[in-house]
Amino acid sequence: MTGLRIALFLAVRQLVDRWKLNLAAVLGVALGVLTLIAMSGVMNGFQQEFLSQIVRVAPHVRVVASTPDVETSVIDRRHAGPAAIDVRNDRAAGRELRITAPSDVAAVLLEHPDVIAVCPGLEGRTLASAGNMDLGALLLGVDPAQQDRCTPLAGYVVEGEWAGLRMGRQVAAIGVGVSETLGIGVGDRIRLASVTGGVESLRVVAVIDTNVPALDDVRILVPLSMAQTVLGRPDIVAHLDVRVADPLDADRVADELATRVPWDVESWREANENMLSLFSLQNAIVAFVIAAILVVGGFGILAIQVMLVLQKHRDIAILRAIGLRRGDIVVCFLVQGALIAVTGALLGDLAGALLLDVLRTLPVSNGGVIVDSPGFLICEAPRFYVWGLVFGSLVGTGAGLVPALRAATVEPVDVLRGRIA
């Protein structure tokens, strides 16, 4: 026990005596932890804001009309033996995709205990015009009385009223981006046309701002019957939007619903798979950068500790000669590395918290492509600080292990024989 106390005393004394070198090592670890906290807070803030907006304004699960798989191909039906025939399309041409008996399908879906609401819909591309301005838009036909239960858009109406969609067929609700591009608002007229349907002039009854530019810039909502007319698809219901109790459980619910209906069923995660995969790649890059910075900080501790061991060979040998064991020498240098690492990690945590507070107040334009925000979106979670402390401490302590083991190999007899100057 006495040897351990002496080792701890020597470790602290050595840190104080070489405080300038040790301060550089502390700052190296602090920089790594600071980067971990700052980048994690910014990246996770953006991702969480995007995901929270999506689960609020998009369906959690969507049942999509699809062509049933062809059990027997055209070649197999026409030729009994081998045949070298290139079939470009093995399905009937001109078949209209629709969900038959949508009310009955909705009743089946609602039997699932996690399903809250089911709403029919139809969407397609349309050309929106107002005055001399044109815009390619996404037309979404909905049942105004039911749709707000699946995607509660009424709370995002910034002009007009969602209930206005129930006032006949010749009405529309537009995204705020559509409103700004075409220069129209509530009470103005908007013309919709498609390559397969007619041309309709509708009155704008609501402007919606969901804070998701990818939706607000192109989406126009109209009664389902009007969408069927504009798109030239009468009596067609192409999808059913489903809202579930827990959006994070949408994948499981989608898999279970797929066994109840003969159409494709996809969760919001599957619908946004490209964006989520981009987030995964982004997180991997951030983790690589943070790990590299922490490793560089660890090498700083390693270099300083090795230098101290080389300079203190005589002192280490004398300590061994007066009774300190190899384990005590190892503890001495390990404690030095651990104290540097923990101090740097705590300093990095504090600096990271201050930096996040500064970033939160900075006015930064993000382009408004995915999520519209006037500045950095920050996620400040306690786990980031725990990760910083744990990773910084592990890297620093690990860096001190090699010089500690080397110091323990010094033999006092080498000093007595004059082999070490």
Which residue type is seen at 361?
T
Report which of residues 56 and 140 the model is more confident about: 140
The owner of tokens 């219901």 is 237
Q: Is the dihedral of CA 300, 302, 305, 306 positive or negative?
A: negative
Cα–Cα separations (whole angstroms), residue 132 to 185, 207, 343: 15, 20, 65
Distance CA 303, CA 297 (A): 10
| pLDDT tens figures, 266-285 | 888 888 777 777 778 877 88
Tokens representing 330 are 């190892």
DSSP 326: H
CA dist list (Å): 139 to 215, 223, 258, 319: 11, 10, 26, 82
- Top-confidence residue, 408 or 56: 56
Q: Are strands 199-208 and 171-175 parallel, antiparallel or unpaired?
A: parallel
Residue-wise over 316-355: b if at least 16 C-beta within 10 A, else e? bbebbeeebeeebbbbbbbbbbbbbbbbbbbbbbebbbeb
Closest CA to 285 of 40, 96, 74, 91: 40
Using CA atoms, how far apart are residues 33 and 385, in angstroms rounded to an integer?
A: 8
Highest mean pLDDT among 3-7, 196-200, 263-267, 382-386: 263-267
Q: pLDDT-based confidence at 36, cuts 50/70/90?
A: confident
What's the pLDDT score for residue 179? 92
pLDDT tier, 329 (very low <50, low <70, confident <90, very high otherwise): confident
> What integer best gives the mean pLDDT of the chain?
79
pLDDT digits (tens, 9 = 90+) for 97-114: 788 888 888 899 999 999
Q: 3-state DSSP call for residue 267? A: strand
Which of 262, 241, 223, 221 is closest to 149 using CA atoms?
A: 241
SS3 for 367? Answer: coil
Confidence of residue 208 (pLDDT cuts 50, 70, 90): very high
Per DSSP, 101 falls in state S
Is 330 a residue whose pLDDT tops 70?
yes
Cβ atoms of 167 and 205 within 8 Å: the answer is yes
Segment (H or E) for 201: strand 199-208
Bridge partners of residue 131, in order along the sequence = none
Dist. CA 316–CA 8, nearest whole Å? 14
Query: Quick one: three-class SS letters along 231-245?
Result: CCCCCCCCEEEEEEC
Q: How far apart are CA 160 and CA 167, in angstroms?
A: 13
User: Which of 36-40, 111-115, 290-294: highest mean pLDDT?
Assistant: 111-115
- For 135-160, the pLDDT digits (tens) are 999 999 998 888 888 888 888 899 99
The mean per-residue pLDDT over the stretch 403-413 comes to 69
Confidence of residue 339 (pLDDT cuts 50, 70, 90): confident
State the pLDDT at residue 421: 46
- What percent of the chain has pLDDT above 70? 78
pLDDT for position 70: 45
Query: What local confidence, expressed as pLDDT, does residue 69 receive?
Result: 47
pTM: 0.66
What are 3's two structure tokens?
A: 């040897």
Inter-residue contact 350 to 413 (CB < 8 Å):
no
Give pLDDT, residue 414. Answer: 61
DSSP per residue over 122-191, as a string?
A: EEEEEEEEETTEEEEEEEEEE-HHHHHHHS--GGGEEEE-GGGGGS-SSEEEEEHHHHHHHT--TT-EEE
Q: What is the pLDDT of residue 173?
A: 93
